[in-house]
Structure 1
């Protein structure tokens, strides 16, 4: 399953689009509120038909009613920000407790540290890793598996982007320039000797932030950056969502996918690209698969297959939890990355200053792609090597993982077994002054 990038909203039906004005968001909120009594009734009915004291509970009829009520309730609820559910990790055969702490905060982002409560210091080096989560609709918890893979042997930090709907208008705007400023500020807070891992959408702003820092001779520029399934140059093997972004044009996006946050949310009257529209784009990309998954949930519940039903719940609790994006960030990113291709063409700017990837000389570069990625196709991330011309050859690595899609680039069994160990090796080989990386063809 792919993590649909935010340009997936271009899958909205109709060439003329649907005019998404402020009342549309209000109608969505009213519809959700209107269904509340029905959801409550469905939940009560489900509990009635799951009560062991009810004779119908043990019949096919009772199980079918309970399953149908659960499907209705889950299909109409609003999913909040999921929990990390990371309580511990195993280091050197010892289970170490994890405490998730906020160590830096701005209106649109928190920096989280997965602090490991060691009784005694680990023997192996523990490189400091900053995972930059996508700000493309899902919460940072979608990278739970990514975090867990690095926790045993790394000091892990992650950007936890806030839902724009919860940020008061008085906190000001947030665009791509602000995103880059946040990254630079975070790297300063971490104090150097840091390795950055950008997952999907952040690949462009991470590369831009590193270029700005290198051009300024900033001592806190990271030792290495790993770009995973990112849209560095979407002109290469363009996917359906890439071409739709170009075909629609910026005027279509401004007129059809931007709305204002309704009352009573804290971000009342803020211009956003709303989460419910995000979800429409995500679901429509693989609608048949989602329908089949929910059909299977019904059958699992009727048959009493609790394990399969729980796996479905866990996946969709995460997948259906989406957040609003700041309109400024969304529109500037679509224009810069997917319409004008500004970074690979040497035209991207930060605060009216041109980004110079050629200024990167000290930060090692690794790119990772998935063979079947339908969001950031093969070649789009590797393009970073062609624009970062002054990184020494011994500090470059590119790896293409066979038989995985977009989601498999940063999560799943192949990520844990084949991708994460390569990233860990690359990070360790660049963990300190004077240490170079190794050129690799991925084998």
Structure 2
């Protein structure tokens, strides 16, 4: 225990030291007396210090949502604030309240990833949807701040949280799951279909999620197949140090995750920081320039509960429990084929190197109880992983399609379901599911 806690505190010490060095270089480089010396090295030192101090200090700060007010029809600004609808130890259900606006017809739950970054990673997604819908989001907590007494949190607990959140919001809900939570959102919807069919959401949109990681190889899936669970636990899991409320809790530290993120594209990140230092030295940077906007969010990382991270790798990536329709919750098998009332859309990016095309659309083959005309897939050819939910591809192409899909789902829910003239209803009165052969 002490060894892993010492490792956690050592990493935090390294981060703290770098932030201090950056602050010191910034202060020293801008010492007033040096202004009389025309030596560009002092200016470059201060620029280096500003970028380094900002970067390392952001790593332990949860970013603000900072949603701008929306304009109303009468020209007044409608302020957006946050309201916690359901509060739980590992995550909250949060609503974005648009003050002064009547409830919208479209009601959207964004299921944010628990994969190292805060839910604020979806800020641009929220901003793009708020003018046209009421929006809720799953706001997951940093595991370092959760006392050990709160217990464990694994993929089954995550699924049950989603079930609770969806039941809270009601059946006229449209769920959009982005990246990592897509498989578990699919499982949560299936669990609702079995336990409380009337509480199922109206539509389900899965964006860039690893429903079947084996459908298309990426560096992420290759890593998961190469490393054993023992190696993973030994190399990635630490215990929270003495500085935080979660002291002693086993976690996959955010700073360790960040090192992995950066290593995947090290050259790109190094070039970006080098260019930013030169821009600061030349006086061409600003508080909210593109570099700062991106890295203020990208560098802000959170610890994941160890059991959630390990069970995700073992059950979703290695065991392929969702892809094989073998997922269980509290010992109960979850049948994805039990979903019958939900319209489902999958979205993939043609250049997604995290969840490659083929991984997400695999969900449609599992949905044997959903009619073919209520299943659809869209591939954005030139989009990478981030672009399919927050970039230009999302704003210009994907978002309009998703909103149209939601509207179609609302219209379909109001139409009575008709059985074929030559079909006999079974004793339970339910319409038989269509053929499992899905045309996408």
Relative to the length of structure 2, the TM-score reads: 0.88
**Structure 1 residues 43 and 299, CA, compared in 2 at 3 Å: closer, same or farther?**
closer
Query: Contact 2:372–2:439 at 8 Å: present in 1 too?
Result: no
Q: What whole-Å deviation, never above 9, does each CA across 1:32-59 have from its counterpart, x for those lacking one? A: 445565344234235546xxx9745997
Shift of 1:148: 0.7
Equivalent in the alignment of 1:88: 69
Equivalent in the alignment of 1:44: 27
Equivalent in the alignment of 1:179: 158
Shift of 1:145: 0.6
Shift of 1:187: 1.1
**From 294, 301, 304, the counterpart of 1:325:** 304
Aligned ranges for residues 66-81 of structure 1 at < 5 Å?
66-77=46-57, 78-81=59-62
Q: What whole-Å deviation, never above 9, does each CA across 1:406-435 have from its counterpart, x for those lacking one? A: 011101112101000100111111126335
Query: Contact 2:340–2:370 at 8 Å: present in 1 too?
Result: yes
Shift of 1:299: 1.5
Query: Contact 2:26–2:48 at 8 Å: present in 1 too?
Result: no
Unaligned runs of 5+ in 1: 1-19
Shift of 1:63: 3.0
1:22 aligns with 2:5: yes
1:368 aligns with 2:351: no
Shift of 1:21: 3.4
Equivalent in the alignment of 1:167: 146
**From 210, 215, 218, the counterpart of 1:236:** 215
Indicate the SS of the match to 1:21.
helix
Indicate the SS of the match to 1:87.
coil
Indicate the SS of the match to 1:227.
strand
Equivalent in the alignment of 1:113: 95
Query: Contact 1:300–1:308 at 8 Å: present in 2 too?
Result: no
Equivalent in the alignment of 1:65: 45
- d(CA) in 1 for partners of 2:331 and 2:379? 35
The CA RMSD measured in Å over matched residues stands at 2.5
Aligned ranges for residues 306-345 of structure 1 at < 5 Å?
306-307=285-286, 310-345=289-324
Equivalent in the alignment of 2:272: 293
Query: Contact 1:91–1:153 at 8 Å: present in 2 too?
Result: no
Equivalent in the alignment of 1:4: none
Aligned ranges for residues 197-276 of structure 1 at < 5 Å?
197-276=176-255
Equivalent in the alignment of 1:5: none
Query: Contact 2:29–2:42 at 8 Å: present in 1 too?
Result: no
Compare CA radii of gyration and give the structure with the larger one: 2
Shift of 1:28: 1.5
- d(CA) in 1 for partners of 2:371 and 2:298? 40
1:398 aligns with 2:380: no
Equivalent in the alignment of 2:428: none
- d(CA) in 2 for partners of 1:151 and 1:406? 22
**Structure 1 residues 144 and 112, CA, compared in 2 at 3 Å: closer, same or farther?**
same
Unaligned runs of 5+ in 2: 418-437
Indicate the SS of the match to 2:289.
helix
**Structure 1 residues 310 and 193, CA, compared in 2 at 3 Å: closer, same or farther?**
same
1:282 aligns with 2:261: yes
Query: Contact 1:129–1:195 at 8 Å: present in 2 too?
Result: yes
- d(CA) in 1 for partners of 2:72 and 2:373? 30
- d(CA) in 2 for partners of 1:418 and 1:160? 26
Query: Contact 1:395–1:436 at 8 Å: present in 2 too?
Result: no
Indicate the SS of the match to 2:193.
helix
Equivalent in the alignment of 1:13: none
Query: Contact 1:343–1:355 at 8 Å: present in 2 too?
Result: no
- d(CA) in 2 for partners of 1:132 and 1:347? 22
**Structure 1 residues 170 and 211, CA, compared in 2 at 3 Å: closer, same or farther?**
same
Relative to the length of structure 1, the TM-score reads: 0.88
**Structure 1 residues 57 and 134, CA, compared in 2 at 3 Å: closer, same or farther?**
farther
Structure scoring higher RCO (CA < 8 A, sep ≥ 6) equals 1
**From 354, 370, 377, the counterpart of 2:333:** 354
- d(CA) in 2 for partners of 1:155 and 1:58? 56
Query: Contact 1:249–1:339 at 8 Å: present in 2 too?
Result: no
**Structure 1 residues 394 and 46, CA, compared in 2 at 3 Å: closer, same or farther?**
farther
Shift of 1:255: 1.6
**Structure 1 residues 230 and 298, CA, compared in 2 at 3 Å: closer, same or farther?**
same
Query: Contact 2:30–2:42 at 8 Å: present in 1 too?
Result: no
Residue-pair matches, total: 415
1:145 aligns with 2:124: yes
